[in-house]
Amino acid sequence: MALNDILPGKLGFGAAPLGNMFRDIPEAEALATVEAAWNDGIRYFDNAPFYGAGLAEIRMGQALAGKPRENYVISTKVGRIVLDEIEGSPRDYGEKGGVFAHGRPNKVVNDYSEDATYRSIEDSLKRLRTDHIDIALVHDVAQDFYGDEWLSMFESARKGAFRALQRMRDEGVIKAWGLGVNRVEPIELLLELDEPRPDAFLLAGRYTLLDHDRALQRVMPMVAERKLGIIVGGPYSSGALVGGPNFEYAPATAAIIAKVAAIKAIADRHRISMKAAGLQFALANPAVAAVIPGASQPSRIAEDRAALEQTIPADFWRELRAAGLVNPAAPLPIAV
């Protein structure tokens, strides 16, 4: 089934912040944020066991309890098992550092085997309080978490998680499967294989106004050629695009800060928001099926919806292109 036939809209909800990403989010605030998304009409929710060691899934399950299950779509991820055991030492989160330091203290183990994949789905079903997952994604089998060992982890997933998820898809247990990663190389590698055959990808941070060159070179053309789809996560580049201090889950460099300032100067002249520029840029690529900005406050939902619907003049995109702030090959919302 094509990703566009599964997803109920172009704007989804990224649940990483519900796992206490970067800060200790009050329970009431987290639940109110999901409720605000629902009231806005958002019906696609992305999650993962990794987000706060199951905390994001638990909160989302609580927030969506009682909502008609046939009315919304859930994606979650496999590759990590959350144990009842309490972690006795700081977790190793790869390049992301301690972004979930405020999450649950449960130990999280990496396991891309077939058995672990089935267990991961079963555990997620319990935390999410649902009877099925629509889209299952193999999580973070890439360089940012495994360094030089990422290819061996990918091979483990190829023999285990990929086969398990393809079987579940073919049996109708899930509607689609693929990868959920922050790097383009795993997607390229999977698409080069004859088997298995994924349906969709969640690519976080690699198709944004601040960073899209590599994805344009191979990933987007390969996905479009195979009539698959990309879900763009992290469209605001960990907040850097909208004035936050972080890019790629770490303090933004001087070069990134300068690029944000250059884009914002043009946006300010045209009286448009940086969120509008970021979301509409990502969705202009025909390979992109949806964007899923993360939110931890109810007010952010209204901001994202307004950004999606704001009218952006063609001159804004012309100026960005003329200033070399977007790749010349990047599709834009209007012909320039």
In angstroms, the Cα distances linking 179 to 9, 185, 228, 235 are: 20, 11, 12, 17
DSSP state of 225: H
Q: Is-catalytic flag, 46?
A: yes
In this structure, the strands spanning 106-110 and 135-139 are: unpaired
Q: Is-catalytic flag, 51?
A: yes
Which of 10, 44, 67, 77 is catalytic? The answer is 77
Which of 10, 40, 44, 46 is catalytic? The answer is 46
Burial class, 269, CB count within 10 angstroms (exposed 0-12 / middle 13-18 / buried 19+)? exposed
Q: How far apart are CA 109 and CA 112, in angstroms?
A: 10
Q: Quote the tokens at residue 114.
A: 């077939």
In this structure, the strands spanning 246-247 and 250-251 are: antiparallel
Residues 248/205, Cβ–Cβ less than 8 Å = yes
Strand partners, 230: 201, 288
Q: How far apart are CA 193 and CA 96, in angstroms?
A: 29
Residues 33/301, Cβ–Cβ less than 8 Å = yes
Roughly how many angstroms between the first and final C-alpha of the chain, as a whole number?
Answer: 33
Q: How many residues are present in the chain?
A: 336
Strands (E), 234-275: 246-247, 250-251
Which amino acids are annotated catalytic? 46, 51, 77
